[in-house]
Amino acid sequence: MLKNYLSLIKFSHTIFALPFALVGFFLGVIRTGGHIPYRNLLFVVLAMVFARSAAMAFNRYADRKIDKANPRTATREIAAGIIRPQNALIFIIINVLLFIWASWMLNPLCFSLSPVALIVVLGYSYTKRFTSLSHYVLGIGLALAPVGAYLAVTGHFALLPILYGVVVFSWVAGFDIIYSLQDEQFDKRLKLKSVPTYLGTDKALLLSTITHLFTAIVMSYALYLTQAQYPQIGWLTWLGGIVFLVSLVYQHLLVKPDDLSRVNLAFFTTNGIASVIFGFLFILDYFF
């Protein structure tokens, strides 16, 4: 039973945004004097897990009929009948309530903004029915991670975590465009919207490249500003940033318009490793 629900929400994919949430958290720690509020750290991680679990399960619930019709996704838990839709809905509601609770345990600002976060991460599931920009809505959802984690520590907004949020926004949108190439023909048949169905494969890859070029520019500026504002952050963070940027180039070398066989390698493996390395080296920089 637990295995089915972990598979439903692709729990391992939490790894994409969590390292950036930790970057936002430790930026807040440095800003507030260097003392690590472990209680807040716990609730930041819990809020991330609950929000993502609700969002992914809701996506599977909302798309259950679409998934069943698509040979690539027909084996997903709700589409295949492994998890009943009503049970999935109960799971979603529980995670939504737990996310709101975790936000309340952080501070009043996080609690008051929790409905906004839920609207974005849950609302994404319906966007491909009316806009080709759904990839960018997904990016906004994950971009909340570093900003929210910073707010959990400081209780106020700041430019630097927002910049890292912009990095996550464009990074996720760019690689989701690549991932959606797998369903281009299926989406056209069902009149679902995406960048590939609107622009075609070649132009979709070009837009993904442009989006990731924007990611590289913002990431470079964020790294510069990080070291300017926090002199204790040094070469390890820059090294993590370089690895992250190289991964952007690498995933575009993996995927060609006439060869999509390595999309999953570009989407899951490359991005997961890049995110973890950057987050790990940033935290290592903070401690050493």
Encode pLDDT of 129-155 as tens digits: 999 999 999 999 999 999 999 999 999
Q: What is the pLDDT of residues 182-241, one digit of tens each?
A: 999 999 999 999 999 999 999 999 999 999 999 999 999 999 999 999 988 889 999 999
Per-residue pLDDT, averaged over 243-266, amounts to: 86
* pLDDT at position 265 over 70: no
Region of 193 (left: φ > 0; alpha: ψ -120 to 50; beta: rest) is beta
CA dihedral 125, 43, 97, 64 (to 10 degrees): 30
What is the pLDDT, as a whole number, of residue 256?
84
The closest of 160, 161, 158 to 147, measured between CA atoms, is 161
Alpha-carbon distance 250 to 283, whole Å? Answer: 24
Domain range for residue 60? 2-287
User: Who's near 30: CB < 8 A, 6+ residues apart?
Assistant: 230, 232, 233, 286
Q: What is the pLDDT of residues 33-52, one digit of tens each?
A: 889 999 999 999 999 999 99
Number of domains in the chain: 1
Q: What's the CATH code of the domain at 87?
A: 1.10.357.140
Maximum pairwise Cα distance, the chain: 56
Per-residue pLDDT, averaged over 61-89, amounts to: 96
* pLDDT at position 26 over 90: yes
